[in-house]
Amino acid sequence: MKKLFLFTTCLLTAVMINAQTLDEIVKKYTEANKLDKISTFKTIKITANMSMMGMEMPMTLWMKNPSKIKTLTSVNGQDIIQAYDGVKGYMINPMAGSTDPVEMTADQAKDLEKSNIFQNYMANYLKEGLLVLEGEESVNGKPAFKVKASINSNATAHMFIDKSTYQLIKTTADINQGGQSMTVESYPSDYTETNGIILPMKTTTSMNGMDMVITYTKVEVDIPIEDSVFSIK
């Protein structure tokens, strides 16, 4: 009986230590990236460029606190637009043969909302019990915490947080699209602070042997952005 009690006590202690460690990592991640102060801002606009398969595609992102977001990507003179107005998400994709807005699925809208810098998705996942600390791993020679996020039934992600800076330096996501399973790897880098907002100015993403690089060229904070910008239906 004493052995059973001792084993149970040790198990509970181990679980508590692991939870406290994960809490501390997310807390330091939030502080290092100043996400605890981002609620004081109202809007963010980012001008960027996407490079893929030898093509250069200009991008613009608009975000409004707390959850509105819109992205516009120009491909060969045609604009692909995604927008979430805080309630529903819509997409215009002329590459698919239509210029009419199409309502996103709930998962698509949620994925777009996660791109909103005003959303501290790491802290949100922690509150929802979706995070598990899986130890440490080296990323390009840097020791990093490896954190697993069970996002939904079709997607599992791993986030690697630099142990020295507490900034995200790698993400991997196992996703299923159209019955096809694939792994997406992203490497955020060149973290820069602009008017109190800390962002990775460059992100390299690899998927199915194809590389995509997104580079931020301009970050504007608290400029006027009307709610109508996020309505494209």
Residues 6+ apart with CB under 8 A from 204: 186, 187, 189, 211, 212, 213
Domain ranges of the chain: 2-230
pLDDT in tens, 8-56: 444 344 444 344 589 999 999 999 999 999 989 999 999 999 999 889 9
Question: Which pTM was predicted?
Answer: 0.84
Q: Using alpha carbons, list the distances in angstroms from residue 103 to 12, 81, 93, 106, 223.
A: 46, 12, 11, 9, 28
For domain 2-230, the CATH class is mainly beta
- Distance (Å, whole) CA 137 – CA 158: 11
Rounded-to-integer distance, Cα 44 and Cα 225, Å: 9
pLDDT tens for residues 106-124?
A: 888 988 988 899 989 899 9
Give the pLDDT confidence score for residue 177 in this predicted structure.
Answer: 66
Per DSSP (E only), the strands in 96-154 are 102-103, 131-139, 142-152
Residues forming beta bridges with residue 212, ordered by sequence position: 52, 205
Q: Which DSSP helix (H) or strand (E) runs through 215?
A: strand 210-221
